[in-house]
Amino acid sequence: MDVYGRSRTRSQRASGLKSQLVFDQLNPIVIFAYYVIAIAFSMVFIHPIFLLAELVVVIAVNFNAKEQKKTFATLQGALFMMVFIVVLNPIINNRGAHIIWTIGGTVITAEAVVYGLLMALSLAILMLVFVSYNHSMTNHKFMYLFVRISPQLTLLTMITMRFVPLFIRRFTNIKNVQKTRGVQMETGKLRERAHAGMRLMEVLLTNSLVEALQTADSMTARGFGAQKRTSYQRYRFTQRDGWLLAGLVGISSFCFWQASHGVGRLPIYPVLGSVQLTGPGWLCLWFVLIIDSLPLLLEGWEYLWWSLRK
């Protein structure tokens, strides 16, 4: 996009200039609808075939967005949580008819193990979806969608979403600077390392509070919240956006209607059901994968279109 927020033309992309992905050039309404549906799919269709297929597609979407490092980092962080859920759920949940073994009076059932595994996969997909979300759904697009509805809530949501990565980045910078003064948590006795960590956290919180006060004063001086805010970027809603949004809403509505009738949901309690999918289940799976792979399909169509033109 250029400085005015307009998408580059196909001739500019063909000339070798650096451009965005085709999916990133869609209207923010379509992009936001895609991610809402993708997140809903990961929580509604609790079935091993659905979840494994969605996991592969979501990883491919992240790779297409050139977010390989963040994807691997997210997988590493999600792996610990997945193992924790798979191990903890059978211990605290003893429901189920198929007993695997008994440990110290605690009954471990196959249903509890499978349920914990499916919940872990759903959580991993949810975390991976936000990798490409942060790439495609920028702050300007999010503000463009919701600032007219509720500017305070929109600002609070944006601050919350960037709170953790911002704190981690600031803490890393402060830790590197304080190392030159001999304040570090990697070496020394446990008490010394804990004391160094508390000093680093004190610097981090003090710095963050000062910057928060400065930001609040700056926003007040600029009249934020005095009236409805407008966006300096204009995103056109094209015919392509309309067709894609209609397709997303129509196909996802059919999938959710199928899910309300038990399609794509593995029966677990009280007795573990069959993993095999029926005809409607396979049809629903294909529709789910088509929606999840929308960024890949758009890139493939663009590549095919230019190949045929050449």
Domain boundaries, the chain: 28-138+238-309, 148-230
Whether the predicted pLDDT of 215 surpasses 80: no
pLDDT of residue 247: 94
Percent of the chain clearing pLDDT 90 (strictly above): 25
Whether the predicted pLDDT of 159 surpasses 80: no
Whether the predicted pLDDT of 144 surpasses 50: yes
Structure-block tokens of residue 286:
């294909």
Most confident of 114-128, 162-176, 239-253: 239-253
Which whole number is the average pLDDT over 198-213?
81
Q: Which amino acid is at 66?
A: K
Main-chain phi, psi angles of 99, to 5 degrees:
-85, 125
Q: What is the CA radius of gyration of the chain?
A: 24
171 CB-near residues (< 8 Å, 6+ apart): 200, 204
- C-alpha–C-alpha distance, residues 138 and 136, integer Å: 6
**What distances in angstroms separate CA 270 from CA 110, 160, 172, 274, 304, one per listed residue?**
11, 39, 48, 13, 49
Which whole number is the average pLDDT over 42-60?
93
pLDDT, tens only, 91-115: 777 776 767 777 766 777 878 888 8
Which range, of 75-84, 85-94, 102-111, 203-212, averages the lowest pLDDT? 102-111
Whether the predicted pLDDT of 14 surpasses 60: no
Structure-block tokens of residue 259:
């899910």
pLDDT of residue 225: 61
CA angle 290-293-294, nearest 5°?
A: 85
Which whole number is the average pLDDT over 290-296?
93
pLDDT of residue 194: 81
- C-alpha–C-alpha distance, residues 172 and 281, integer Å: 47
pTM of the model: 0.72
Structure-block tokens of residue 85:
């859920």
pLDDT of residue 115: 86
Which range, of 67-71, 75-79, 190-194, 239-243, averages the lowest pLDDT? 190-194
